[in-house]
């Protein structure tokens, strides 16, 4: 008779969080057993730390040895209300910041530590001990939405759908009425000149200039509501990538206030250079489109094909049609592995829930160059996927135009060769070593 107790199978490794550093050369993964850091371009392991306990958030400070850690998962390493500044070179915690409520997010720079709580954001001076500089109340923010640039901090306002934009040097606060429903994601461009936002509706992405809070453009992800996973600008800030629970990666052109922007040839500006006029101050409904606008002297140049505009063809030119038929859509898209994974701990995200116990992260975007980006997901089936933006040839029948001298002759061959940008998956890998 076998009286030995059954042996418990070891729990599988689960990625609880995924975050890129500021230049997207590396990404850090919080595990149910510690954390690890990978090279973003090759997905090769750079560093790992085994705590035999969960890390629900890992935030890198550039390429330095400092990491912001928050405990998470079913067996967290640290208390949920503490942010630990970990010195990996010395294998120790150098700083600790405690709050009265669970930490929802963090942002790090060499001068500031941003602590994101459920209903507030606290800004500390990077010192030992950390010195609280300012605190801001926010709307309910269980996702820890906050982003940091060299000049600004952005996070939800006290009113649903609003963004608080704080100038770091002066502390002045600007309020941006970004959406009519609660915010879901936001991100600065690498130079900090642009801010992209999306709401819980997930149909529209709005891009604002941080210099004057003017809305530059609205981009339509789709018609059906979706949960936005990630927003990320390309290194130049002229392209924006988006992922959602529809398991599709979308890439848009974005007008940058200080750089030349390529617009599709079907736009009214095609074939000429023009300046974009200021946007209307009126706040539209979530599903309306406000034309692309800017208060700068950005220059527009045409591209060779229809990229993002005119998605619905002749329907977009019929008067009184719904605005979705004339909206600006992505110029390229590709499927990524979203994975219908269950919640890690079986608990919905609430005010008292621990990080890493809700649905694992999926679709986190990092740009490697202007034409290469990676999408990383968490959970048990944690994947790294690389995508490339390339051009492919298209063939269109030439248009015959009648004039005083008769129809225009077609070029030899009878067809016109053009190119369009497409997004293709260039490789993928299960980075946790699963078969």
**Tell me: the pLDDT tens digits for 172-228?**
999 999 999 999 999 999 999 999 999 999 999 999 999 999 999 999 998 899 999
For residue 303, give the 3-state DSSP assignment.
coil
Structure tokens at 96: 């600790």
Query: Which are the contacts of 297, defined by CB distance < 8 A and separation ≥ 6?
Result: 275
Structure tokens at 32: 């149910």
Neighbour tally for 356: CB within 10 Å: 28
Q: How confident is the model at residue 341 (pLDDT cuts 50, 70, 90)?
A: low
Element (H, E) at 42: none
The pTM of the full predicted model, rounded to 2 decimals, is: 0.81
For residue 156, give the 3-state DSSP assignment.
strand
Helix, strand, coil percentages, rounded to 5, for the chain: 0, 45, 55
Q: How confident is the model at residue 256 (pLDDT cuts 50, 70, 90)?
A: confident
pLDDT, average across residues 11-21 = 93
- What pLDDT, on a 0 to 100 scale, did the predictor assign at position 210? 97
Indicate if the pLDDT at residue 36 is higher than 50. yes
pLDDT, average across residues 21-30 = 96
Neighbour tally for 73: CB within 10 Å: 24
Tally the C-alpha atoms within 13 A of residue 214's C-alpha that lie toward its C-beta.
17
- What pLDDT, on a 0 to 100 scale, did the predictor assign at position 258? 81
Alpha-carbon gap, residue 54 to 79, rounded angstroms: 10
Structure tokens at 361: 């992260």
Q: How confident is the model at residue 268 (pLDDT cuts 50, 70, 90)?
A: very low
Element (H, E) at 359: none
Tally the C-alpha atoms within 13 A of residue 335's C-alpha that lie toward its C-beta.
4
- What pLDDT, on a 0 to 100 scale, did the predictor assign at position 400? 53
- pLDDT tens digits for range 385-420: 999 999 988 766 555 555 444 555 555 555 556 889
């Amino acid at each position: 008779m076998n009286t030995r107790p059954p042996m418990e199978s070891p729990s599988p490794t689960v990625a609880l969080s995924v975050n890129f550093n500021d230049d997207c050369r590396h990404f850090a993964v919080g595990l149910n057993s510690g954390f690890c850091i990978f090279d973003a371009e090759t997905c090769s392991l750079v560093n790992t730390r085994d705590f035999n306990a969960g890390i629900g958030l890992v935030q890198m400070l550039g390429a330095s040895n400092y990491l912001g850690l928050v405990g998470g998962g079913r067996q967290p390493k640290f208390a949920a209300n503490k942010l630990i500044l970990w010195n990996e070179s010395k294998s120790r915690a150098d700083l600790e910041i405690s709050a009265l409520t669970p930490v929802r997010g963090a942002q790090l720079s060499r001068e500031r530590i941003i602590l994101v709580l459920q209903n507030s954001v606290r800004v500390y001076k990077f010192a030992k001990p950390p010195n609280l500089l300012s605190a801001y109340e926010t709307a309910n923010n269980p996702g820890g939405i906050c982003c940091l640039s060299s000049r600004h901090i952005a996070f939800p306002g006290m009113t649903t759908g609003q963004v608080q934009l704080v100038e770091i040097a002066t502390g002045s606060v600007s309020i941006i009425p970004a959406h009519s429903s609660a915010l879901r994601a936001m991100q600065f461009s690498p130079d900090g000149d642009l801010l992209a936002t999306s709401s819980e509706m997930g149909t529209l992405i709005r891009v604002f200039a941080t210099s004057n809070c003017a809305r530059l453009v609205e981009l339509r992800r789709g018609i059906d509501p979706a949960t936005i996973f990630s927003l990320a600008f390309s290194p130049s800030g002229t392209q924006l990538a988006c992922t959602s629970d529809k398991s599709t990666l979308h890439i848009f052109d974005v007008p940058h206030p200080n750089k030349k922007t390529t617009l599709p040839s079907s736009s009214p500006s095609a074939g000429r250079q023009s300046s974009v006029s200021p946007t209307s101050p009126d706040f539209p409904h979530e599903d309306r489109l406000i034309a692309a606008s800017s208060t700068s002297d950005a220059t527009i140049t045409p591209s060779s094909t229809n990229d993002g505009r005119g998605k619905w063809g002749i329907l977009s030119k019929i008067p009184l049609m719904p605005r979705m038929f004339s909206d600006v859509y992505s110029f390229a898209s590709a499927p990524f592995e979203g994975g219908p994974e269950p919640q890690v701990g079986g608990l919905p995200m609430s005010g008292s829930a621990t990080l890493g116990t809700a649905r694992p992260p999926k679709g986190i975007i990092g740009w490697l160059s202007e034409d290469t980006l990676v999408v990383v997901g968490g959970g048990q089936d944690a994947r790294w996927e690389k995508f490339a933006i390339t051009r492919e040839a298209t063939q269109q029948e030439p248009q015959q135009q009648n004039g005083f001298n008769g129809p225009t002759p077609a070029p030899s061959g009878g067809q016109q060769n053009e190119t369009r940008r497409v997004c293709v998956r260039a490789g993928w890998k299960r980075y946790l070593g699963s078969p």
